[in-house]
Amino acid sequence: MDSNALVALIHTEKGTFQEEKGKYLFSVRKDSTKHQIKKAVEDFYKVDVIKINTISMPGKAKRVRMQEGYTSDWKKAIVTLKKGQKIDIR
C-alpha cells in the first residue's frame, strides 16, 4: 500500500511558491498515513523527507447546467524536504 499512497503532484501557483522553501504539494489517498506518504515520496523521488502535514479537503457543491452535485472529498499532503534537495518536476 505504501507505493499507492501518492496520487499526483499538485501544480498550483501557491504550490510553486512553496517549492522555493523545499515544500511540495501532493494529492494522496484518503486512507494513507503520514508514514506511508513519507515512504512513498522517499522511494519514488529518492529524497529525504523531514516533515509531512496532511489536510482533508471536503468536496464542493457544483452545478452543471440543471444538474447539481458534489465533487469528491480528497486528501492533500505538504511534504517538506531536507535543505538543498529538490524534486525535478519538469
β-bridge mates for residue 49, sequence order:
81
- CATH at residue 13: 3.30.70.330
Examine residue 87 and state whether it is found in any structural domain, yes or no. no
pLDDT category, 88, cuts 50, 70, 90? confident
For residue 76, the cross-strand partners are 27, 55
2 or 30, higher pLDDT? 30
Q: Coil, strand, or helix at residue 65?
A: coil
- Largest interatomic CA distance in the chain: 51
> By residue range, what is the domain housing residue 49?
2-81
3-state class (DSSP) for residue 69? strand
What is the domain count for the chain? 1
Instruction: Kindly state whether residue 75 falls inside one of the protein's structural domains.
Output: yes
- The C-alpha cell at 87 is 524534486
Residue 86 lies in a domain: no
89 in a structural domain: no
* pLDDT, position 1: 43
Domain membership of residue 20 (yes or no) is yes
Q: How far is the CA of 35 from the CAs of 21, 51, 68, in angstroms?
A: 22, 10, 37
